[in-house]
Amino acid sequence: MADIFFPMLPTPEWVQALSHRVLDDAEYTHPCRIEWRWGDPRPKSWTEPLRRRIVIRAAEDRGHAALASTLLHELAHLVLPPKEHHSRRFWRHFYGLVERYGAGGGCALTLDDAYLLSRHYKVTAIKVAAELGVGAARSNLALRVPGEPQPRGWFDESLALERRLHEQTCDACAGEALPAVFRGAPRRGYEKIVRQSEELIMVLKGVRARYSNGVFEPLDEVDLAEDQEVLLTVDEKPSSKRDPEAMRAGAGGWVGQHDPEELKRMLYEARITGSREPPAT
């Protein structure tokens, strides 16, 4: 099974399952990271192939099928060489993923839908879809002029498709979109949900204290009510004195645990890719 790390919570189960199916079938053996940032009001996604990292800002009002198209798009970037960025080979691979994995979870992403969501990239996306038999692509190809903005009507059509795909979203997928505390609530915007979630967050405040005769004596001003109970977490101040014996005991502990050449290669890659803006996808 592909080694995929999903650091963001909650990452929908269908996202994890679909990612594993695609990468397992592609025999993708490298450890990778998929950051699913749910509820981000600025929908955007990108892939960093050298870092083996995918970031998806998943707007909560999009719906399963449109989000599946975004995920498959980024997975195609991950498994293909960077030089194939939005090339003919890339689009054939992406549309192939849609045909193979587009249906599931009570929602269906058709090849036509995936095309309408992707045609704003380049003329190559339209040409490949037309070759695969997408009817809309064939008619659009006669209207699209290389280097010119896409017709305004295409944008309106895409918005209408987004609304239809959102309405198509099944209850199971919608249930995975937000934590259980918010399920069933109307979609009132990301900021509203953040304000509601603040009630669930424990407020932590650091206060310096001195322990003496079994009693913690605060060294900072404390704004608490009389007899209010609090939870103390003790963070010992490290000693400024060095222990030579402890340092000697730890000597050689990393021998055989890492590859220095691989570490240097990763550092150089991070410097190169980290100095560039994420590619527009």
Report pLDDT for 172. Answer: 44
CA 274 to chain centre: 17
The structural domains of the chain, with segments of one domain joined by +, span: 4-188
Distance, in Å, from the CA atom of 215 to the CA atom of 209, rounded to the nearest integer, reads: 10
Report pLDDT for 54. Answer: 94
**Closest listed residue to residue 160, CA positions, set 116, 98, 119:** 116
Phi, psi of 242 (to 5 degrees): -90, 145
**Closest listed residue to residue 22, CA positions, set 86, 100, 83:** 100
Distance, in Å, from the CA atom of 232 to the CA atom of 226, rounded to the nearest integer, reads: 16
- Inter-residue contact 101 to 25 (CB < 8 Å): no
Q: Are strands 53-58 and 44-48 parallel, antiparallel or unpaired?
A: antiparallel
One digit per residue, pLDDT tens: the chain, 281 residues?
A: 789 998 887 788 888 888 999 999 999 999 999 998 877 666 688 999 889 999 998 776 677 778 888 899 999 999 999 889 889 999 999 999 998 888 655 567 888 888 888 877 777 888 898 888 888 888 777 776 666 666 767 777 777 777 776 665 554 454 444 444 333 333 444 344 444 444 444 445 677 888 888 888 888 888 778 887 777 777 666 555 666 776 777 777 667 777 777 777 777 776 665 445 555 55
Report pLDDT for 179. Answer: 42
- Label residues 74-103 b or e (16+ Cβ within 10 Å = b): bbbbbbbeeebebeeebbebbbebbeebbe
Report pLDDT for 167. Answer: 63
Report pLDDT for 169. Answer: 55
Report pLDDT for 42. Answer: 65
Distance, in Å, from the CA atom of 198 to the CA atom of 202, rounded to the nearest integer, reads: 8
Report pLDDT for 185. Answer: 38
Half-sphere exposure (CA, 13 Å, Cβ side) for 178? 24
Structure tokens belonging to residue 125: 């996306």
- Inter-residue contact 20 to 2 (CB < 8 Å): yes
